[in-house]
Amino acid sequence: MRVTKQKALALRVLAILLLTFSACVEDERQNGDEPATGAGTPQSITSSGGTQPPARPADLPPPATASRANSIDLAVGPDGLTLVDGLGRTRHLLFGGEAAPTIAALEHALGPAVRVDVPECRLGSAAWSNGLTVYISGSELVGWHLGRSTPRDQRLTTISGVGVGSGLVDLLSAYAAVPVEDSTLGVEYSAGAMAVIFDREGGEGKITEMWAGVTCLAR
């Protein structure tokens, strides 16, 4: 009888120990630490100790070559105009070419143009504040005229650097120019297919106008 009571007491103690152990395990599961790694969205650390999302491709600055390629210069010439981008690539807008894409390219480089029909010359025209006017016959580019520009505008020149404000020495060093006798427009020189007007004779004179192709000038 004594043995039976001791066994019963031992069983009761064992049961109490098992219940206590189970309760401790459950508490550890509910209050356990989170994993130290492998959770959440990746983040980059700033120098001030804060966090910011990882940089996306759209947030990164564009390559330097993109900005250079987007810069466009314009030059006038005896057979039309030439666009030159920041990488040195050229696009020629020649007389006889389609006017619509030519005007679009010029407006992309220079901004919106003022378009005017010139019925007395049977021409259309597009003009910019930098002194450039291009002339259109039908659907074709046929000529350009370059006059004085506003001070804030970029001065247009030929590829050789001759433009409004250049002197006679500049013209003669770049082109085989000759004076036009008895011109009704002033001191005029012919530089191949281009015409040039100076404000006075001699080495002190400066170019005030120049043009090439078909224009609308009253002689």
Q: Please give the Cα distance from 59 to 63 (Å, whole number).
A: 12
pTM value?
0.67
Of the ranges 54-58, 68-72, 78-82, the best mean pLDDT one: 78-82
18 assigned to some structural domain: no
The mean pLDDT of 41-64, rounded to a whole number, is: 40
Q: What is the pLDDT of residues 30-40, one digit of tens each?
A: 555 444 444 44
* Residue 66 maps to a domain: no
Res. 58: pLDDT tops 50: no
Whether residue 14 lies inside any domain: the answer is no
Domain with 119, as residue range(s), is: 95-213
Across all residues in the chain, what is the average pLDDT? 78
Number of domain units in the chain:
1
Q: Does residue 153 lie in a domain region?
A: yes
β strands within the chain, DSSP E: 44-45, 51-52, 72-77, 80-85, 90-94, 114-118, 123-127, 132-137, 140-146, 157-158, 178-179, 187-191, 194-198, 207-213
CATH number for the domain harbouring residue 158: 3.40.33.10
Rounded to whole angstroms, how far apart are CA atoms 95 and 91? 13
Q: Are 208 and 193 in contact (CB under 8 A)?
A: no
Q: How many CB atoms lie within 10 A of CB 77?
A: 19
Q: Do the bridges between strand 194-198 and strand 207-213 make them parallel or antiparallel, or are there none, so unpaired?
A: antiparallel
Q: What is the pLDDT of residues 74-100, one digit of tens each?
A: 999 999 999 998 888 999 999 999 999
